[in-house]
Structure 1
Amino acid sequence: MNNFLDKLDHVLSPVADVLSNNKFLRSIANGLIALMPLTMVAAIFSILEALPKVASFLPQWSEAVDAALLVPYNVIFGLMALIVSFTVAYQHSKNYEDSDSMMNGLLSLLCFVLMASTYENMTFSAQYFGYAGIFAAVLTALVSVELYHFLVKHNLRIKMPDSVPPLVSKSFEALIPLLILVTVFYGGNCLVVSLTGNSIPALIQSLVTPAIKGSDSIWYQAILHFLMQLFFWLGMHGWAITAGFSMPISNALLAEQSAAYAAGTPIAELPYFTTGGVNMCNVFYFIPLILMFACKAKRNKAIGKMTFIPTLFNISEPMTFGIPIVLNPILGIPFILYQPIIVSINMAAVKYGFMNRSAMSGIAALPQPFSTFVACYGDFRVFLVFAVMMIVAIAIWYPFLMVWDRKCLREEQEAIAAGQVETAD
């Protein structure tokens, strides 16, 4: 077993190191995380607007109130690409000591607006300011920061005397890089439009659309969760490693789903099923319960008591490192296989109509299944699906936890016999 672990670590660790330490993927992940509170606020207004639709006993909103409740929702998702162009650039500029994060964010935002905006019949179109422009916004942010850093590094800027206030000095220093960036992005987009008839964001969206639609599958989610759990088991942060490429896809999918819902598409006819309803695979609080009430080893009972509250609120790291599950050959098997199986059940339930589809992300601070219950607009079938998932989860974990508990109990008894541990009367 040790040889197997050594070989697996030898193969996967370099890959994980490259992904987790890659400044571009790290910047994308950190920039997109900033969207979380915004999407949660949008979700609250979406829930309020949808309540009379999913709970027939409630009085219907008037058309004016219904439309007013959707305004914050539409604004947040309708400007998502603009926000991403700023947040990703802001985070990416932190990789360079000589870069001004705020200025880089603003320059990226300006460059993206110039590329994404279209003018027809003297009217302004913001088609790519929402979900359709997310990937273009990410690329704009990364390229603009790299180009800005290159220009500053080679002193292509106006240097002001030391007597000039720093804020004024920084504004003048950005003039030449700003002019060059605007010329490159706007000029490049005009050239692409003249050659292809489509803007750069439109071309990028056409290329990534198959990836977005492909992510709305059980196989994609199962493989993604398998990889995340495998990296977690090896002691690396699986979500951080995969977020750089998975989050742009999931955010684009969620934004497109939200646009369909805002346009009046019925919940049952929303195009995708891998949004807010597929969150219950991240449940781990049944493990501390097993440790507390079914295990005999004192250390397992203590760990169960200490980690139940964190896992209840979707924080699993204390449990993962406390048991420990990391590099544990016994518990590694259920840990790696559990989420792909459970997410497949969760997705199948949504896909085949046993749960509502959703146009919002779950509320991370809420315990499951209540978070998914809210995301699915108060669908009580969520609790039934959750019960089935927990039965399967316990069936997967229980035998391995009992084997682990026996091992821990033997070690405790051997330590007591050797006089290393004092027994409590």
Structure 2
Amino acid sequence: MEKEKSFFNKLDAVLSPIGNKLGNEKHLQAIANGMLFGLPFLVIGSFFLIFANPPIDLSRYNPQTANAFMHFMANWKHFATAHYDAITLPYNLTMGIYGVICAFGIGHELSKIYKRNAAMDGMIALTTYLMVTTTVKNSKISLTYLGTNGIFVAIIIALLSVELNRLLLKLHLQIKLPDSIPPMVAVFINSLIPVTANIIVFYGANLLVVALTAHSFPVFITDLLTPATSLATNIWGFILIVTLGNLLWLIGVNGASIVFPIVFTIGVAQTGLNAALVNKGMDPTHLMNLQMFRISVLGGSGNTLGLILLMIRSKSKKLKTLGSLSFIPGLCSINEPIIFGCPIVFNPILGIPFLISPIVNLLLTYAAQNMHLISLGYIVDPSFTPFFAQAYMCSLDWRNVIFWILLIFIAMLIYWPFFKVYEKNQLKLEEN
């Protein structure tokens, strides 16, 4: 017991000063608090996404031999497919516009720290963000970079927008008004110059990027961060790409959206090769199949399902409540509520296991497949399906389900010491 306390004290002594220093930095505070604006939308949106993607592969469904449960699942799938746009509309306008919410929230929180007009600064940041990230064609607005794909741009725009507004005030670039002017009218008039300046600076910068690269700023950033696809064909390259994606998450960039096309495409291709071998009566041989990708995001990026289980039993009210709300989405590998709610973004304490856990799980899975302790994936299972269903559907082997559950407990062990340090700091904040 004394050794355990000594270990926690040493870990706390190293990590807590770093976490406290970063936590007290006003811009990082604004990012963390601003992202919490969208937490309810993330939670609700994730449920609609799950409902729109029932866990069944209709290509393997035979109505002549299926039982009542499979009939129900098939009917659900047909209903979801027929009404997909209507079902996913709440998702598209909650989680799908998380970047918009963050642009306002971060701008609002930073402005509040500076004791400015937080609502107006937040609206200016939001409007500027929309100009930089969207295109309008035939009266239709593109939603591509309004969700988690646009988080990094939202952070940049929100912080710089508020700083630009502060600079204009310091330079006395505002309209002087007599005291007799009503406050709301004064706010309206004094917002004209900041709004104009934001459009000129940020929208102008976006037009410059488009002129030089033929891409908008969000696309330019995405292309800049996308690694070579050839790396994903071996375990070390795969781990490198997954780790890169998780590193990006730690600075607020949707790393999964960047690495997903690479590792998912490789996984599907190798799973298809395994399926061809099984169809010929042969054993599958391709290790970098879709199962590897699913395990790299077991519970979401960073393998956070283990963290969620720890949070559910936490003494911290915030962490316990957030863990309980995130459990069902986490079963389906949707963990934005955890990433932005804890937050893990800009959090050096939880960031370490967030990087380590997927690496350990991938190495164990690669070894287990090599040693034939589990089956290689040869079926392309549906996305947004509870992990235990994916584990079985990818190979039709119950050993895989047991192995995936084991990986979750291993993730819990990896997160545990770091979580205890973070929980201790969180409890201090709640006591104050």
Q: TM-score range by the shorter chain?
A: 0.5 to 0.7
- 1:106 alignment counterpart: 123
Task: State whether structure 2 residue 306 is matched by structure 1 residue 281.
Answer: yes
* Alignment match of 1:25 (pick from 22, 28, 32): 28
- 2:70 alignment counterpart: 56
- 1:128 alignment counterpart: 145
Alpha-carbon offset, residue 14 of structure 1: 4.9
- 1:115 alignment counterpart: 132
Alignment partner of 2:145: what SS?
helix
- 8 Å contact from structure 2 (residues 299, 305) kept in 1: no
* Alignment match of 2:111 (pick from 70, 80, 93): 93
More divergent stretch after superposition (146-155 vs 43-52):
43-52
Alpha-carbon offset, residue 24 of structure 1: 2.0
- 1:70 alignment counterpart: 88
- 1:83 alignment counterpart: 101
Deviation digits for residues 285-306 of structure 1 (CA, Å, limit 9, x no counterpart): 6999xxxxxxxxxxxxxxx9x8
Shift in CA distance, 154/284, structure 1 to aligned 2, threshold 3 Å: same
Identity of aligned residues (%): 29
Matching residue's letter, 1:154? L
More divergent stretch after superposition (150-159 vs 380-389):
380-389
* Alignment match of 1:16 (pick from 11, 15, 19): 19
Alignment partner of 2:156: what SS?
helix
Normalised TM-score (structure 1) = 0.57
- 2:252 alignment counterpart: 248
- 1:322 alignment counterpart: none
Task: State whether structure 2 residue 223 is matched by structure 1 residue 206.
Answer: yes
- 8 Å contact from structure 1 (residues 31, 90) kept in 2: yes
Task: State whether structure 2 residue 42 is matched by structure 1 residue 45.
Answer: no
Shift in CA distance, 49/347, structure 1 to aligned 2, threshold 3 Å: farther
Matching residue's letter, 2:250? S
Structure-2 separation of matches of 1:313 and 1:178: 36
More divergent stretch after superposition (371-380 vs 73-82):
371-380
Deviation digits for residues 342-385 of structure 1 (CA, Å, limit 9, x no counterpart): 6556567899759978549xxxxxxxxxx966999999979734
Task: State whether structure 2 residue 402 is matched by structure 1 residue 384.
Answer: yes
Alpha-carbon offset, residue 102 of structure 1: 1.1
Shift in CA distance, 340/383, structure 1 to aligned 2, threshold 3 Å: farther
Spell out the pairing of 1:136-147 with structure 2 (5 A cutoff): 136-147=153-164
Alpha-carbon offset, residue 96 of structure 1: 0.2
Alpha-carbon offset, residue 162 of structure 1: 2.8
Shift in CA distance, 85/357, structure 1 to aligned 2, threshold 3 Å: farther
- 1:421 alignment counterpart: none
- 8 Å contact from structure 2 (residues 312, 321) kept in 1: no
Structure-2 separation of matches of 1:134 and 1:254: 11
- 8 Å contact from structure 2 (residues 209, 216) kept in 1: yes
Task: State whether structure 2 residue 197 is matched by structure 1 residue 180.
Answer: yes
- 2:276 alignment counterpart: none
CA RMSD in angstroms, aligned pairs only:
5.5
- 1:157 alignment counterpart: 174
* Structure number with larger C-alpha Rg: 1
Where structure 1 has 5 or more consecutive residues not aligned to the other structure, the ranges are 226-241, 289-303, 316-334, 361-370, 398-425
Matching residue's letter, 1:279? T
- 8 Å contact from structure 1 (residues 47, 377) kept in 2: no
- 8 Å contact from structure 1 (residues 284, 311) kept in 2: no
- 8 Å contact from structure 1 (residues 27, 91) kept in 2: yes
Shift in CA distance, 217/15, structure 1 to aligned 2, threshold 3 Å: farther
Deviation digits for residues 39-86 of structure 1 (CA, Å, limit 9, x no counterpart): 221221122222363773412433433332122223334423222221
- 8 Å contact from structure 2 (residues 245, 255) kept in 1: no
Where structure 2 has 5 or more consecutive residues not aligned to the other structure, the ranges are 58-68, 272-288, 325-349, 367-375, 416-432
Shift in CA distance, 34/356, structure 1 to aligned 2, threshold 3 Å: farther
Shift in CA distance, 245/128, structure 1 to aligned 2, threshold 3 Å: closer
Task: State the number of aligned residues.
Answer: 327
Alpha-carbon offset, residue 283 of structure 1: 5.8
- 8 Å contact from structure 2 (residues 56, 382) kept in 1: no
Structure-1 separation of matches of 2:12 and 2:163: 33
Structure-2 separation of matches of 1:94 and 1:375: 45
- 8 Å contact from structure 2 (residues 297, 358) kept in 1: no
Normalised TM-score (structure 2) = 0.56
